[in-house]
Amino acid sequence: MTGIEFSISATDGAARRGRLTLAHGTVETPAFMPVGTAGTVKAMTPEGVAATGAEIILGNTYHLMLRPGAGRLATLGGLHQFMNWPKPILTDSGGYQVFSLAGRRTLSENGVLFRSHLDGAEHNLTPERSIEIQRLIGSDIAMVLDECTGWPVTEDEARTSMELSMRWAARSKEAYEPRAGYGLFGIVQGSVFPNLRRESAETLQKTGFDGYAVGGLAVGEGQAQMFDVLDFTVPHLPADRPHYLMGVGKPADIVGAVARGIDMFDCVLPTRSGRTAQAFVTGGTLNLRNARHADDMSPLDATCDCPVCAQYGRAYLHHLIKAGEMLAGMLLTTHNLHYYQSLMKNLRDAIAGGTLAEFRTKFDREQQAGPEDGHHGDH
């Protein structure tokens, strides 16, 4: 068998409870992938990431090709062995990072010519080269090279961008060598335009991929518009393949997207927030810089069973942040990733039990009430 296995064990409305079987293990879906940009989930050991319940992480083609280099990674046994993460890895194609290098890149039909942000060296990232790098990295799931359509954007600009991405997707597929347990995902583009999203989804299906991602969202369009795009895009994706919403997002975004048929997520939010004194808790977020935590020995979240909530109080975390101690980021990131993985498990259980509507009602009510100590949002 080539490619990956994906089975759905339960549905609740459009939401799906599934399992992905990959070369390096199984992933229960809906799943959240912590972002390990440069071969590390920031402020965490791989063992610590696994202990939060994460079964798959995301690596970044752009950063890894520049440092330590794809050839070196292959020589050293691939990213799994290099970073001591034996579970599945998905790599993005590098497109998004290259497109954020405004002024340092030139886009053409062939690919993207760009200068490294590290040393200014010139690189040519084509669909074929992106696939080759991801193979050298050893990722279980590779992504096609696409152009991340900007925002705001006209329909004509979105069409031009989407059609280029579709041609690149076909080239990516052509360059990809199928192997058992490994897969290649196509990326639906088309911004907020229903006809473009439909056309993109249909084009990708004709090419044929192991999974289908929705790209070009969480770029400034807002949650309501993002949900609208999912409402008219997901029905055009093959029901028997995994659906991945790239770069999303906040807990409320994830809950709403799962209800619309999304199976996979990644976002820097839980890790970046952990390094900037923000904790995700029942009802919203806490800013641990806030002076009112200085004498509070209660845990971040009384309902959380993570080791941080079991062993440390808010006062200590506040002190670490004030003292500029790196342990602050480590503990808050541990808690945040645990919060996200607990959210995913609760979503999986709700779908399996047919109680997703009740789960969403309770989640929304908690978000409106704010964190347990009565301060809304606490930013």
Query: Residues with catalytic annotation?
Result: 92, 266
43 three-class SS: coil
* Among 113, 109, 110, 108, residue whose Cα is nearest residue 124: 113
Sign of CA dihedral 273, 278, 280, 284: negative
Yes or no: say if 336 and 273 are a contact pair by the CB < 8 Å rule: yes
CB crowding 99-112: b at 16 or more within 10 Å, else e: beeeeeeeeeeebb
- Estimate to the nearest angstrom the gap between the alpha carbon of 347 and the chain centroid: 17
Nearest to 186 by CA among 151, 247, 142: 142
Q: What is the DSSP letter of 305?
A: -
Give the helix ranges, DSSP H, for 183-250: 194-207, 223-233
Q: Which residue has the tokens 């330590």?
A: 68
Give the other-Cβ count within 10 Å of 211's Cβ. Answer: 24
Taking CA 101 as the corner, what is the angle to CA 99 and CA 105, rounded to the nearest 5 degrees? 80
Token pair 């919203």 is at which residue? 284
Phi, psi of 52 (to 5 degrees): -75, -10
Residue 338 CA to its chain's centroid (Å): 15
Task: Write out the DSSP string of 240-256.
Answer: TS-EEETT---HHHHHH
Paired tokens of 284: 């919203």
First to last CA, the chain: 50
- Whether residue 36 contacts residue 82, with contact meaning beta carbons closer than 8 Å, is answered with no
